């Protein structure tokens, strides 16, 4: 028999669920009466139960976060079916859903309390500057599937909303310290209290680590040594204030900053310095008739400086082939052509108004409009010293119609306009049919568009001697680049069993993406004769199955399992001259992903956790394949009361076993030990 880790993981999950369900099926306890009712707002901007939503949703709540063996936010996405969390460098992670997991995955909308942290200059999320750690999070809503009708065109594949803990949930001072191998040093202090009429939670945090260990071993038949300079040093400050001037109104203000130094690169590393700041204002009103109004506005700003090796003109000539061109260029005087520091700015302003009305002729609705301005500046990426800016607007609406006691219809649309006349639209339609109490089938159709970002539509990267002489063409955007397209359909099931202790979610899906933006290579009159052109070059089809299950037979036990199978077809138009070349990239995403979390909390407040994660093989076009791996993380945490305040000590061991590699052969994820201490102070 062929060993199949994914099948074994599924079998193990089923066995555990069967054992506990057999033991608990006929028992009703106090936990049955206190079970949470999960409400979701990220799909339609209306509060809906999981059996009402027009899309598959994973909720990672506070209980699951505490039970997990996660050390950072990235680890939590291993609990979501279809999500791949990976490391380009030790402190340069990426997250993607089903496909398109490159160095800068840019088709997920990621929000914190409704504020987008997706930034324009690299068209992705800088996870190092997120400013949120596990202790800050109340819960996470993950919409699995295109969510552009609710969150805009960047929610092309999926969307994530991280909801932080309210200032009302804690009181007083708390300190948290972590130490571990790889020189992990994380320290934080927070205070929750009151400033006049404002409840607030304020956090100051510093974290650092040395990244992956230096590589020394055999690769491609040769002994290879590579020094990995991919550590990080980060300082973060955050403030969240809540004011309720009336029973109907609440006003929330958040602001913060982040100062980071991160090593990034491929073999040759550069030091990236990031200064990040944000301000976020939210006002909401709940009317007596159940309708709501909400206004939110935020501002994000990234100041980025890459410290890199300077390059002179004569040094660059060493890369030119011998010949008349090189001899002619050698007659020019030497000069600096690549500065030792590359500076860039990425800035976003966004304001949005939303409103809902409730149950008029069995119809609920949410609608709204938003304005956004993105501004970027980078001489290296845009071949100019001026600012490049883009204004956009969007309108959206969602309707939920209770057609009968058993059938609910959802429909939603979004229209987005940008400077230059570009307009894209997305819509979704779903029908949820209740087979029986707590058992619902969902049939959903989605058509989404993703507009090109500022970088994708305007990139112009050249190495110049002067304004008239280009030494090397790197990347330039095609003048006719246009929006990506997604057509998807799904058949889903959401249900609960055993007095609502077991929650199940299953999804059969088909997703077809066309005009996907990537890079093709063409001939160009520079030193290597090649130029990468950013264009609509790729097409992707993903079909498969995913499921998740969470079982809580009592307040002491938690079992969370998920699995996804993705059959991916990915073709890329790579070159048209001198010979047309189309590449098959179908193996660049793992077919099998899954995880299993088991947690037991003793009556003496000792929490024991084991978290098993599996990823099947990835076959890169370059031949630098990543073998599949199964990783075991364990955690033991002891809680107690110290002078009337909560205290906890925990030991987490990640990857208890052999090393595995991520992205590059020298990125070896070895066993990681992290000891943490949390103490509440008076």
Task: Assign 37 a pLDDT band (cuts: 50, 70, 90).
Answer: low
Q: What is the pLDDT of residue 32?
A: 41
Task: Assign 252 a pLDDT band (cuts: 50, 70, 90).
Answer: very high
Task: Assign 104 a pLDDT band (cuts: 50, 70, 90).
Answer: confident
Cα(429)–Cα(444) distance, rounded to whole angstroms?
6
**More reliable by pLDDT, 242 or 30:** 242
Cα(26)–Cα(45) distance, rounded to whole angstroms?
37
Average pLDDT, the chain: 90
Give burial (CB, 10 Å; 0-12/13-18/19+) of 125: buried
Q: What is the pLDDT of residue 36?
A: 53
Backbone dihedral region for residue 586 (phi beyond 0: left; psi -120 to 50: alpha; all else: beta): alpha
In the DSSP assignment, the letter for residue 2 is -
Q: Is residue 507 within 8 Å of 56, Cβ to Cβ?
A: yes
Task: Assign 420 a pLDDT band (cuts: 50, 70, 90).
Answer: confident
Domains of the chain: 5-307+340-681 (2.40.170.20)
pTM: 0.92
DSSP 637-657: EEEEEETTEEEEEEEEEES-S
Beta strands in 267-320 (DSSP E): 268-286, 292-307, 311-312
Q: What is the pLDDT of residue 34?
A: 38
Average pLDDT over residues 560-571: 96
Q: How many CB atoms within 10 Å of residue 606?
A: 13
Kindly report which listed range (78-87, 156-165, 274-283, 619-628) carries the lowest average pLDDT score.
Answer: 619-628
pLDDT higher than 80, residue 423: yes
Q: What is the pLDDT of residue 28?
A: 41
Q: How many CB atoms within 10 Å of residue 97?
A: 30
pLDDT higher than 70, residue 40: yes
Count helices and strands in the chain by DSSP H and E runs: 9, 42
Contacts of 558 (CB under 8 A, 6+ apart): 63, 64, 67, 550, 551, 552, 597, 598, 599
pLDDT higher than 60, residue 2: no
> Between the CA atoms of 151, 155, 158 and 160, what dihedral angle is there, to the nearest 10 degrees?
-60
Tens of pLDDT, residue by residue over 343-357, are 999 999 999 999 998
Looking at the chain, how many residues does it have? 682
In the DSSP assignment, the letter for residue 71 is S
**Three-class SS of residue 21?**
helix
Task: Assign 438 a pLDDT band (cuts: 50, 70, 90).
Answer: very high
CA distance readout (Å), 30 to 34, 235, 554, 598: 7, 43, 9, 22
Tens of pLDDT, residue by residue over 275-323, are 999 999 999 999 988 899 999 999 999 999 999 889 999 998 888 888 8
Tens of pLDDT, residue by residue over 131-152, are 899 999 999 999 999 999 999 9
Rounded to a whole number of angstroms, the distance between the first and last alpha carbons of the chain is 61
**CA-based angle 240:371:482, to the nearest 5?**
120
| Of residues 570, 592, 594, 574, the one with CA closest to residue 582 | 574
**Structure-block tokens of residue 19:** 């054992």
pLDDT higher than 60, residue 402: yes
Q: What is the pLDDT of residue 325?
A: 81
Q: What is the pLDDT of residue 622?
A: 58
pLDDT higher than 60, residue 175: yes
Cα(79)–Cα(13) distance, rounded to whole angstroms?
13
Q: Give 572's Cβ-side CA count (13 Å radius).
A: 18
Work out whether the CA dihedral 530, 532, 535, 538 comes out positive or negative: positive
**Torsion angles phi and psi, residue 248, rounded to 5:** -95, -30
**Three-class SS of residue 66?**
helix
DSSP 504-539: EEEEEEEEEEEEEEEEEEEE-SSSSSEEEEEEEEEE
Task: Assign 680 a pLDDT band (cuts: 50, 70, 90).
Answer: confident
């Amino acid at each position: 028999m062929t060993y199949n880790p994914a099948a074994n993981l599924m079998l193990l999950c089923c066995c555990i669920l069967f054992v506990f369900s057999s033991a608990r099926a006929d028992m009703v306890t106090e936990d049955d009466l206190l079970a949470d009712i999960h409400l979701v707002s990220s799909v339609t901007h209306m509060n809906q139960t999981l059996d009402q939503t027009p899309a598959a949703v994973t909720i990672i709540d506070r209980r699951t976060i505490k039970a997990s063996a996660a050390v950072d936010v990235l680890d939590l996405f291993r609990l979501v079916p279809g999500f791949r969390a990976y490391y380009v460098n030790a402190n340069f992670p990426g997250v993607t859903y089903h496909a398109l997991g490159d160095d800068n995955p840019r088709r997920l909308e990621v929000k914190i309390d409704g504020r987008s942290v997706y930034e324009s200059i690299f068209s992705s999320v800088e996870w190092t500057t997120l400013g949120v750690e596990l202790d800050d999070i109340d819960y996470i809503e993950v919409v699995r599937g295109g969510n552009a009708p609710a969150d805009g065109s960047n929610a092309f594949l999926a969307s994530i909303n991280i909801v932080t803990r309210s200032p009302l949930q804690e009181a007083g001072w708390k300190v948290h310290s972590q130490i571990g191998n790889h020189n992990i040093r994380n320290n934080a202090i927070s205070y929750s209290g009151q400033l006049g009429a404002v409840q607030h939670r304020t956090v100051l945090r510093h974290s650092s680590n040395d990244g992956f260990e230096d590589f020394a071993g055999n690769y491609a038949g040769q002994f290879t040594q590579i020094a990995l300079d991919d550590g990080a040093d980060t300082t973060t400050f955050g403030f969240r204030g809540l004011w309720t001037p009336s029973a109907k109104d609440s006003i929330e203000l958040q602001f913060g900053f982040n100062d980071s130094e991160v090593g990034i690169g491929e073999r040759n590393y550069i030091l990236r310095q990031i200064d990040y700041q944000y301000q976020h204002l939210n006002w909401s009103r709940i009317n007596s008739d159940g309708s709501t109004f909400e206004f939110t506005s935020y501002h994000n700003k990234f100041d980025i400086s890459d410290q890199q090796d300077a390059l002179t003109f004569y040094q660059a000539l060493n890369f030119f082939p011998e010949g008349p061109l090189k001899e002619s260029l050698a007659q020019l005087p030497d000069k600096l052509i690549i500065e030792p520091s590359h500076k860039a700015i990425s800035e976003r302003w966004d304001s949005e108004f939303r409103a809902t009305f409730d149950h008029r002729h069995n119809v609920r609705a949410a609608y709204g409009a938003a304005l956004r301005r993105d501004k970027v500046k980078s001489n290296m990426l845009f071949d100019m010293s001026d600012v490049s800016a883009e204004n956009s607007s969007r309108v959206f609406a969602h309707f939920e119609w209770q057609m009968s006691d058993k059938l609910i219809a959802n429909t939603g649309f979004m229209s987005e306009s940008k400077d230059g006349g570009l307009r894209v639209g997305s819509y979704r339609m779903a029908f949820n049919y209740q087979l029986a109490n707590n058992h619902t089938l969902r049939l959903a159709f989605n058509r989404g568009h993703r507009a090109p970002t500022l970088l994708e539509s305007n990139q112009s990267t050249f190495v110049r001697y002067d304004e008239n002489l280009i030494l090397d063409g790197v990347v330039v955007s095609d003048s006719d680049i246009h929006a990506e397209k997604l057509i998807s359909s799904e058949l889903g099931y959401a249900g609960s069993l055993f007095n609502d202790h077991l929650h199940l979610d299953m999804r059969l899906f088909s997703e077809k993406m066309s005009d996907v933006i990537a890079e093709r290579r063409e001939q160009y009159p520079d030193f290597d004769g090649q130029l990468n052109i950013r264009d609509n070059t790729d097409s992707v089809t993903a079909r498969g199955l995913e499921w998740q299950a969470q079982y809580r037979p009592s307040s002491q036990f938690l079992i969370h399992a998920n699995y996804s199978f993705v059959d991916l077809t990915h073709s890329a138009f790579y070159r048209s001259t001198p010979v047309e070349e189309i590449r098959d990239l179908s193996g660049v995403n793992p077919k099998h992903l899954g995880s299993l979390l088991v947690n037991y909390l003793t009556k003496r407040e000792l929490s024991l956790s084991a978290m098993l994660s599996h990823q099947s093989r990835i076959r890169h076009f370059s031949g630098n394949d990543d073998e599949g791996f199964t990783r075991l993380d364990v955690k033991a945490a002891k809680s107690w009361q110290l002078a009337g305040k909560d205290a906890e000590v925990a030991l987490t061991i990640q990857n208890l076993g052999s090393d595995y590699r991520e992205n590059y052969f020298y990125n070896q994820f070895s066993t990681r030990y992290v000891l943490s201490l949390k103490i509440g102070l008076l």
